[in-house]
Amino acid sequence: MFTVKMEKECGCFKRSGIENCKTFDNRDDAMQEAKEWSEEMNETFCKKHNFTVVEEGNDLIIKVDMN
């Protein structure tokens, strides 16, 4: 089981109404979702935050950095 989740929920994320945690049966699906998810947030959110995917065991954590 692989999990994609946000490290922390910034204000934009909370306003977006996106579900924080998603689980997948295989790593490739999880990684693809994590990448698409972070790209979408980089393009559509406030642009003050930068989202990157980091692997921690079976978890793919989307980290939030200030630009």
Q: How many chain residues interact with Zn ion (CB under 5 A)? A: 5
Q: To the nearest whole angstrom, how small is the minimum distance from the Cβ of residue 36 to Zn ion?
A: 18
Interface residue with Zn ion, options 23, 46, 58, 65 (CB under 5 A): 46
Give the span between the Cα atoms of 35 and 51, in whole angstroms: 9
User: CA angle at residue 3 from 6 to 35, to 5 degrees?
Assistant: 60
Residue 63 engages Zn ion in binding (rule: CB under 5 A): no
Complex with Zn ion: residue 31 or 52, whichever CB lies closer: 52
Q: To the nearest whole angstrom, how small is the minimum distance from the Cβ of residue 40 to Zn ion?
A: 13
Q: What is the 3-state secondary structure (H, E, C) of 25-62?
A: CCHHHHHHHHHHHHHHHHHHCCCCEEEEEEEECCEEEE
> Among residue numbers 14 through 33, which ones bind Zn ion (CB under 5 A)?
none
